[in-house]
Structure 1
């Protein structure tokens, strides 16, 4: 990502300067979800927090740090398009919105933008966090294909995912002890059958590593394949767990692009617990 916008002193840096930097060279779809949800473009930035999900906790951290710009991958208001008409009288929504407004926080959604970087900024962040750059074989808009060293098993890959992403669990369909040579890595909600099943056929992958997807599609395909004697497996990492590293990478890049303002990545705890 090349920055051709002059970095200003922190007292002059405005929200619109950062948005222009993020969108440079990017063509967004007409129905993009990326927008400035709260705040104004001319707002002078006192600090930037980058996160995957702009939760109550993340907003509190931004306030504590004196940051008034939050750049988030997902919507703060529990639906993909950030609609709020259906939440008008909901106390949880109202409390969260009041927090943002009273603190004077500008919240910018960076979803479609980062997925349109070359390479995809979210997938690239996950691959870098896992230390799998040397395993990269092929990149497309939806997936990275990685080739593991001989003798690698699904169980080995699962352990690496847990350790390097700092998570307590992943979910596996198929036999965790099978050897896997080629794997397809798909972040977020790309784990559905229309994406994964052609990869297993066309790219001869043994393993699908995905954020999440419909449980009646790819997992059931894997179950049938295994019952038919085919060595295939699936690891579901979690939506946030697969995409947060990409936002962390974005925070690192913004800190370089705008050194006069403090930029930090705020990580949330996993939304689910296994008991």
Structure 2
């Protein structure tokens, strides 16, 4: 019988980062735990919430690979949370369980293609419609066209979400669509795509509400066929982390790898 190999946290991280050049100010780091501890199981998630951490503990996993920070800011700073009880309880739970938490943000965005965007396109079933890529977006072309309402219905169904937000005329027919994940919905990123890529619709995770949505409002009032769908930051990026979990399962069959999805953070009242 072949002896089962034990992998350290460092070996998993080296696998994830192989061939990737990270920026000097990268946010990717081992936030808790140690590199030399042996991995008993892996939980992959978009946001390492209290619920996700509890699920990891219940499942016997001691490595969480998360896209976003557990501590409510992009650079995982904690000095400003020193006397906060929510932070303290969460940190204590992680430490007492001996969980190593690796932030996988810049790494996965530097996959070829971008691992987060690729996961979203695959989950939507739009791979065959992919017609091009920009630095921030994937461009999909629907040969027969779809109305904004039809696209919105597909998004809700295929991402298993209750709602999206639409700006502009929801009845226009879209043939070229730009898909942007996460916090890429700001005006300086999205607005040039209408001109440079000749898109009818932009689908984004989130962005400042007074930039792109206001541009779309003016365009609609001028009679121009442009529209915007905001899906939500987590809702646009979680599929990419699920794809990462699937790939880790293939590469490390000796380790139980689980993707844990959170419920949407907002409810519509």
- TM band (smaller chain): over 0.9
The residue that corresponds to 1:55 in the other structure is 49
The residue that corresponds to 1:149 in the other structure is 143
Q: Using the TM superposition, give the Cα deviation of residue 80 of structure 1 relative to its aligned residue in structure 2, in angstroms.
A: 0.2
Q: What does residue range 2-151 of structure 1 map to in structure 2 within 5 Å? A: 12-151=6-145
The residue that corresponds to 2:227 in the other structure is 233
**Runs of at least 5 residues in structure 1 that lack an aligned partner in the other structure:** 1-7
Q: Distance in 1 between matches of 2:169 and 2:207?
A: 19
CA deviation profile, 1:115-150 (whole Å, cap 9, x unmatched)? 000100000000000000011000233100000132
Q: Check 1:9–1:159 CA distance in 2 against 1; reply closer, same or farther (3 A cut).
A: farther
- Which shifted more, 138-147 or 160-169? 138-147
Q: Distance in 2 between matches of 1:47 and 1:90?
A: 30
Q: Distance in 2 between matches of 1:124 and 1:210?
A: 14
Q: Could you say what the CA RMSD is over the residues aligned between the two structures, in angstroms?
A: 1.1
TM-score (norm 1): 0.96
Contact 1:210 1:237 in 2 (8 A): yes
The residue that corresponds to 2:268 in the other structure is 274
The residue that corresponds to 1:4 in the other structure is none
Q: Check 1:75–1:10 CA distance in 2 against 1; reply closer, same or farther (3 A cut).
A: farther
Whether 1:183 and 2:202 are equivalent positions in the alignment is: no
Aligned residue pairs: how many? 268
Q: Distance in 2 between matches of 1:78 and 1:129?
A: 27
SS, match of residue 239 in structure 2: helix
CA deviation profile, 1:235-259 (whole Å, cap 9, x unmatched)? 0000000000000000000011111
Q: Distance in 2 between matches of 1:44 and 1:269?
A: 30
Contact 1:11 1:46 in 2 (8 A): no
Contact 1:11 1:44 in 2 (8 A): no
SS, match of residue 33 in structure 1: coil
Q: Using the TM superposition, give the Cα deviation of residue 11 of structure 1 relative to its aligned residue in structure 2, in angstroms.
A: 5.7
Q: Using the TM superposition, give the Cα deviation of residue 163 of structure 1 relative to its aligned residue in structure 2, in angstroms.
A: 0.2
CA deviation profile, 1:14-52 (whole Å, cap 9, x unmatched)? 000000000000000000000000000001000000000
Q: Check 1:9–1:103 CA distance in 2 against 1; reply closer, same or farther (3 A cut).
A: farther
Contact 1:10 1:261 in 2 (8 A): no
1:195 corresponds, among 178, 189, 200, to 189
TM-score (norm 2): 0.98
Contact 1:9 1:260 in 2 (8 A): no
